[in-house]
């Protein structure tokens, strides 16, 4: 046992007193009871923290994309999937990844102040602050200054996602690596689906195990899948070696090819799947979107 102090002799115990090893401080029993009642009503909560998709009410689905490390194509995949979904369903893309990615990718005017911190005081959907992009997709860009990054905390993530889930059919999250070093875990625990994007690249592959393990510990295992991006990239590990020999022991939910058009259209601030639907990457990301979000 852990430093419980000296055990009282039986005859020294007050009537009705029992040894408390680990319990609520005096006076908190009532609050704990109330909390248990609330948890019974809403099984997705633990200690007031949402820990499963069901914990956030709302009709929408939350889908998080992240990768073990930067540069694997999370923003690209999230933006393309979100833009494709937005053609048929109310969809919002949320940037939890700090400064810039969504803002830059979609060419938001540099003086556009809309950003995730607008949500700090938002309570319901009447307070929604999104940028409506011409492709029909709503955007919640990241913070404007790096100094503000620490204000994107788990409480803000739950607040933003909770409100958006009630207002949109799909809430797509462009997240930093879910590894405990940032608030992306908060998005993962309430997501209906979590996709880990990797590339056929040694660093990406080596870090996959740790990422998968972290998601398991968060209880996201059944809702998680891995996708391979930049398949066939020059110098990359051969896809056949990853799929046939399966050294990673994972089944890829999607294999998205490397394509020059991706970078070209990203640089034009266009969504390649919309602008060049016949491109191999566009076809693959469309097939994935149709299959998963039917
Ligand atoms: N399938 C792909 N084919 C070619 N280039 C890609 C592909 N996916 C992403 N890229 C390029 O890789 C770079 C990193 O992509 P990005 O989406 O910003 O990654 P992340 O958000 O994971 O850091 C960008 O230059 C992007 O254009
Ligand atoms: Mg990114």
pLDDT at 7 > cutoff 80:
no
- The architecture of the domain spanning 59-292 is 3-Layer(aba) Sandwich (3.40)
What are the residue boundaries of the structural domains of the chain, listed by start?
59-292
Specify the residue for token string 């007193």.
17
Q: What is the pLDDT of residues 111-154, one digit of tens each?
A: 788 889 888 887 776 777 899 999 999 999 998 888 888 999 99
Above 60 in pLDDT, residue 172?
yes
Residue with tokens 């009642």: 37
Q: How far apart are CA 232 and CA 256, in angstroms?
A: 9
Give the lowest-confidence range in 83-92, 168-177, 213-222, 239-248: 239-248
- Where is pLDDT greater, at 48 or 192? 192
For ligand 1, whether the C-beta of 272 sits within 6 Å is no
Could you identify the residue written with the tokens 């996709």?
195
Integer CA distances (angstroms), 41 to 28, 35, 36, 51, 220, in order:
20, 10, 9, 14, 21
Q: With a 6 A CB cut-off, is 282 part of the ligand 1 pocket?
A: no
pLDDT per position as a tens digit, 231-274: 999 999 999 999 988 888 899 999 999 999 999 999 999 999 99
Question: Residue whose CA is closest, atom 26 of ligand 1?
Answer: 263
Q: What is the pTM of this model?
A: 0.86
Q: Is 70 helix (H, G, I), strand (E, B) or coil?
A: coil
Return the pLDDT at 5.
35
Q: 269 in ligand 1 pocket by Cβ < 6 Å?
A: no
Q: Does the Cβ of 81 fall within 6 Å of ligand 1?
A: no
Q: Which of 64, 67, 73, 256 best tests ligand 1's pocket when mutated (most atoms within 8 Å of CB)?
A: 73
Q: In angstroms, what is the span from residue 86 Cα to ligand 2's centroid? A: 20
pLDDT exceeding 90 applies to what percent of the chain?
Answer: 62
With a cut of 80, say whether residue 31 has pLDDT above it. Answer: no
- Does the CB atom of residue 288 touch ligand 1 within 6 A? no
């Amino acid at each position: 046992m852990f430093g419980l102090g000296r055990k009282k002799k039986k005859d020294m115990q007050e009537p009705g007193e029992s040894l408390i090893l680990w319990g609520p401080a005096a006076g908190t029993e009532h609050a704990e009871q109330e909390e248990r009642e609330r948890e019974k009503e809403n099984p997705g909560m633990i200690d007031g923290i949402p820990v499963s998709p069901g914990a956030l009410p709302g009709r929408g689905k939350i889908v998080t994309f992240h990768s073990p490390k930067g540069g694997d194509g999370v923003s690209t995949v999230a933006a393309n999937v979100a833009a494709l979904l937005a053609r048929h369903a109310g969809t919002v893309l949320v940037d939890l990844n700090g400064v810039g990615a969504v803002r830059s990718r979609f060419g938001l005017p540099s003086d556009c102040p809309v950003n995730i911190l607008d949500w700090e005081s938002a309570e319901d959907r009447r307070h929604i602050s999104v940028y409506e992009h011409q492709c029909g997709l709503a955007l919640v860009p990241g913070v404007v200054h790096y100094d503000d990054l620490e204000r994107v905390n788990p409480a803000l993530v739950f607040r933003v996602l909770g409100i958006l889930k009630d207002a949109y059919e799909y809430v797509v999250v462009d997240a930093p690596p879910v590894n405990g070093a940032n608030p992306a875990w908060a998005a993962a625990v309430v997501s209906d689906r979590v996709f880990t994007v990797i590339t056929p690249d040694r660093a990406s592959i080596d870090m996959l195990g740790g990422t998968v393990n972290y998601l398991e510990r968060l209880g996201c295992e059944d809702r998680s899948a891995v996708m391979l991006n930049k398949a066939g990239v020059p110098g990359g590990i051969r896809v056949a070696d990853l799929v046939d020999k399966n050294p990673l022991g994972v089944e890829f939910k999607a294999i998205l090819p490397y394509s020059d058009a991706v970078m070209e259209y990203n640089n034009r601030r266009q969504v390649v799947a919309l602008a060049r639907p016949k491109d191999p990457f566009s076809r693959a990301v469309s097939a994935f979107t149709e299959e998963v979000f039917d």
